[in-house]
Chain A
Amino acid sequence: MALQVYTASLLKEGLVAYLALDNGRPSWTTDIHLATVSNDDALETLKTAAEQSEQDNIVVAPYAIDVFQTENGIVAATKREQIRAAGPTIALPQDNIRESREAA
C-alpha cells in the first residue's frame, strides 16, 4: 500500500514543510523524517489537518506525496520531492569557498 506524507510551503518563509500529527495536533516541520506517514486509509486525517493549516495561514498549497520507509528514514519517491526535502543538489555559492580553494 502506498505510503504518503503531506507537504506544503510555509507561508512566512516559503520553506518546504511536512505535516506531523501529534495526538491529532498538527505541526509543520522542515525535516521530512519527522513527518507523519500515512497509508491510504488514514490519509483523510492528514488531508483535513493540512487543509486546516492552509486556512489558518500557516502553509500554502499542501499536497500529498508518495514516500518510502527506509533504514535511513523517510525518503520521497520522486526526484523532485527528494530535492525539495534535501535542498539543491549542488554546492550553494559561498564567499568562503574562495578562501578554501586558495588554501587547498
Chain B
Amino acid sequence: MYQYSEQDHQLLLERVSQFRGQVARRLKGELSEEEFKHQRLRNGLYLQLHAYMLRVAIPYGLLSSEQMRTLAHIARKYDKGYGHFSTRQNIQYNWPKLEDVPDILDDLAKVEMHAIQTSGNCIRNTTSDPLAGVARDEIEDPRPYCELIRQWSTFHPEFNFLPRKFKIAVSGATQDRAAVAVHDIGLRLVKSKTSEEIGFEVYVGGGLGRTPMLGKVIRAFLPKQDMLTYLEAILRVYNMLGRRDNIYKARIKILVHETGEEKFRELVEAEWEKIKAGGLYLKEEDFNWVKGFFNDPEYDILPDQDADFENLMLSNADFARWVDKNIELHKQSGYRIVYLSLKTAHQPPGDVTADQMDAIADLADKYSLGHIRTTHRQNLVLSDVQLKDLPALWGELKALDLATPNYNHVTDIISCPGLDYCALATARSIPISQAITARFDDYDFINDLGDVSINISGCINACGHHHVANIGILGVNKKGTEVYQLTLGGSAREDAAIGKIIGPAFEADEIVDAVSEVLSVYLENREDPEETFLTAYRRLGPALFKERLYG
C-alpha cells in the first residue's frame, strides 16, 4: 500500500486546519452559506435530506486494518454507528455535525485518509479492480498506475474547476470488475497485439446519469510511459471545450458525443503532441518507485488443498454454499480471495456498523495480512486468506452477518441511498432492495438463478448503476407516487451494455412481482442452467419479457 511522504502528511494537515478555520467562520456567521458551500464541497461535505453527509475517499478501494478501525471510530463517535460503502468504493457518513467535521478530518489524516476531491467538479477518487494484485486473470497490477493517477490528479491546479465531475477507473485483468466502460476515462491494461509489451486501452466518454453512454476506445494501445501525458491531454481538451452552459451537457461523454469520436481523438492527439515529451512522461525509475509500494507480500509456500477444509465442504452444506458463492481463486497456491457480503436482509446494501468494521479489521489482521478492499458492487474483500483458515473465518463472518452466500447473485443488490437519505432523490431505493431480498431468500432458488445483477437508483442520476444491471430499477416520482421503471439487459463488465426500459413503470407494491416475472421468463426459457440471465436475454430479446409483464 502507498505510504504518505512527510510532504503528503504536511499538505493534508494544512488542508484540515484551513477547513477548521472555514467551519469556525461559518459557525460565527463570517461566511455565508453561499461562500461556505464551495469550501465544504471541496472537502466532501454535502447537506443532505436529514443532515450533513461526509464522503471519505478510499483510494482505489484499498484499506488497511488501521484505517478501517478509524472508520469505525468515526462512525461510533461522530455518527450513528454505521457507514455506507458506495459504488465508487468510498464510504459515506450520513449524520455528522458541522462542528465535528474538522475533528473527523483530523482523525482521518492520522491514518492517511481524507475527503478531498470526493465532490465538486474535479477529478474524483480513481477506482479499480478489488482483486488487483491477487486475481488469476490479471495481466498486470493496476494499483501502481492508480497511485500515479492519484498523485497527478490530487490538487492538480489546472483541473480544479472542470466543467463537471470527472471519474477514472483502471482495470488490469481480463475480466472487468471496475466498470471501466462507464467512466469518464477507463483504462484497461492490455498486451500489445504486436509485441509482449503491456500498455493501456483508453476509453473516454462513458458515464451514467440521465444520458448513459459507454466509453469509446480512443486509443487501442497507449504505452505505459505515456499514461499521464495522455490523461493530461484528454483533460485539457475537456477543460477547454466541455460545456459549461448546461449542467446536463457538461460531462465529457456529451463532448465526445457532440464532437464525434474521430474529431475528439484528433484533438487529444494534437494536444498530446505538445506535451508528450514533457515532465509527466513516466520513466523507469518512476515505475520502480511506485511499484515498490505494491510488492507481493511474503506468501507462504502452501499446497492448494487442505484436509480440514475439504472435510467441512463435505459435511457442512452451509459452508460449502459460502465457499461456492463467496470465494474466488487466488494467484498464489494455498490462498483464496474472500468476499464479505454486505447484502443481508437486515441492513441496507453497503451499510456496515462500527462493530462490524472493527471486527472486519481484526479478521483482516488475523487472516488476511491486514488489508481490506471495497468493491464497486458495495461489498468488501479479504484478499489473502489461507485455504486452511477458511473454516474459522467463515464461522466468524457468519456471527457478524457478513457471510450471506450471494456474491454476484440475485440478492447481491446495488442500491443508492435514495429518498431515505438523498436530497436529489425522486423515490426510495433501499426498501425495494430489502423487499427483493426478502422475497428471494431461498438459497436453492438463488443458486439456480446463477449470475445475475439487480441495481437500484433513486433518481435519474444513476448512482446505483441501474443502467448497467442485468435488471435495473429506477425510482421516479409520478404525480406524487413513487414508481419504478425496469430496464433489462445492461452489463457493467467487459461486455458492457446499457439496459433498455421494458415498459411503463410499476408501483412500489408491484415491482418485486415484476422482477419475479422477469426471472421466471428467464428460468422457463434458458437453454440450460449454464446459460446466464444476460446471455438468455440477449438471445431472446425483450418481447417475451414484455408480454409477461404487460400482457
Interface of A with B (CB < 8 Å)? 9, 11-16, 54, 56-57, 60-61, 78-80, 83-84, 87-95, 97-98, 101
Q: Is B82 within 8 A of A14, CB to CB?
A: no
Q: Is A90 within 8 A of B354, CB to CB?
A: no
Is B250 an interface position by the 8 A CB rule? no
Closest to B401 in A: A98
B351 — which chain A residues lie within 8 A by C-beta? 93
Q: For A84, give its contact among B50, B80, B81 (CB under 8 Å).
A: B50
- In the docked arrangement, what's the CA distance between A98 and B399, Å? 9
Q: Is A87 within 8 A of B419, CB to CB?
A: no
A95 — which chain B residues lie within 8 A by C-beta? 81, 353-356
- In the docked arrangement, what's the CA distance between A78 and B81, Å? 29
B27 — which chain A residues lie within 8 A by C-beta? 11-12, 57
A-B CB contact pairs (8 Å), 18 listed = A13-B98, A14-B50, A14-B97, A16-B49, A60-B47, A79-B419, A79-B477, A79-B480, A79-B482, A83-B420, A87-B50, A90-B430, A90-B434, A93-B81, A93-B353, A95-B354, A97-B346, A98-B346
Q: For A93, give its contact among B26, B82, B97 (CB under 8 Å).
A: B82
CB distance from A14 to the nearest CB of B (A): 4
Closest to B482 in A: A79
Q: For B431, give its contact among A16, A87, A89 (CB under 8 Å).
A: A89
- In the docked arrangement, what's the CA distance between A72 and B428, Å? 24
Is B221 an interface position by the 8 A CB rule? no
Q: For B353, give its contact among A54, A57, A90, A94 (CB under 8 Å).
A: A94
Closest to A16 in B: B50
Q: For A14, give its contact among B47, B355, B431 (CB under 8 Å).
A: B47
Closest to B37 in A: A60
* Known contacts A15-B50, A92-B82, then 16 further A-B pairs from the complex at CB < 8 Å, ordered by chain A residue: A9-B47, A13-B98, A14-B52, A14-B97, A16-B50, A57-B27, A78-B480, A83-B419, A84-B50, A88-B421, A90-B430, A90-B431, A92-B80, A93-B347, A98-B401, A101-B346
Given contacts A56-B29, A95-B353, contact A13 B97 (CB under 8 A): yes
CB distance from A50 to the nearest CB of B (A): 14
Is B286 an interface position by the 8 A CB rule? no
